[in-house]
């Protein structure tokens, strides 16, 4: 169904590493879509699949996990654990008729302002295509 409404993306960022990158993107006046909302968590491995599913229920078209990768101060296996959460959530999404590509994850460092904007802008384009 075609619609003119811009898709909404919920970003889970980590308070010490990827959140400063999103903050920096704003400080450097990088342009990214206005329908991107962020929730800061201590570590991405603590995100629950039901939180992601709730975001979809509440009208978000996409969820982006800005993870820390091996840099995470809570443990080197953070990236691995987060990808397990993504895999488990993909199954739940399929069950609900959602596409796995509506949930993305990438490792973002504290000053990765440009990469995070690129990730989110591309993700938004994909979602727009999906919506049209």
Give the whole-angstrom CA distance, residue 13 versus residue 44: 7
- Binding to other proteins by residue 130, rule CB under 8 A? no
- Binding to other proteins by residue 113, rule CB under 8 A? yes
Compute the least distance from the CB of residue 73 to other proteins, in Å: 4
Angle of helix 18-27 relative to helix 113-131, nearest 10 degrees?
A: 90
- Binding to other proteins by residue 28, rule CB under 8 A? yes
Compute the least distance from the CB of residue 130 to other proteins, in Å: 32
Judged by CB under 8 A, the residue of 9, 10, 11, 17 near other proteins is 17
> Which segment (5-13, 65-73, 98-106, 124-132) binds other proteins by CB under 8 A?
65-73
Evaluate whether 53 touches 98 at the Cβ level (below 8 Å): no
DSSP codes joined into one string, 52-78: HHHHHHTT-SEEEEEE-GGG-TT-TTH
Q: Which of the residues 67 through 106 are near other proteins (CB under 8 A)?
A: 68, 71-74
Rank residues 24 and 92 by Cβ distance to other proteins and give the closer one: 24
Rank residues 73 and 87 by Cβ distance to other proteins and give the closer one: 73
Hey, what are 26's tokens?
């704003």
Give the whole-angstrom CA distance, residue 32 versus residue 109: 18
Burial class (CB in 10 A: 0-12, 13-18, 19+), 16: middle
Q: Which residues bind other proteins (CB under 8 A)?
A: 16-17, 20, 23-24, 27-29, 68, 71-74, 109-113
């Amino acid at each position: 169904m075609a619609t003119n409404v811009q898709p909404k993306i919920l970003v889970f960022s980590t308070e010490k590493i990827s959140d400063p990158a999103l903050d920096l993107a704003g400080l450097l006046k990088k342009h990214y879509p206005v329908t991107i909302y962020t929730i800061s968590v201590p570590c991405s491995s603590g995100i629950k699949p039901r939180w992601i599913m709730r975001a979809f229920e509440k009208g978000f078209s996409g969820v982006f996990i800005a993870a820390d990768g091996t840099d995470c101060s809570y443990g080197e296996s953070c990236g691995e654990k987060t990808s397990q959460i993504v895999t488990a959530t993909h199954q739940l999404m399929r069950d609900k008729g959602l596409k796995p590509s509506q949930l993305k994850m990438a490792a973002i460092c504290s000053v990765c302002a440009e990469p995070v904007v690129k990730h989110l802008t591309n993700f938004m384009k994909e979602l727009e295509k999906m919506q049209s």
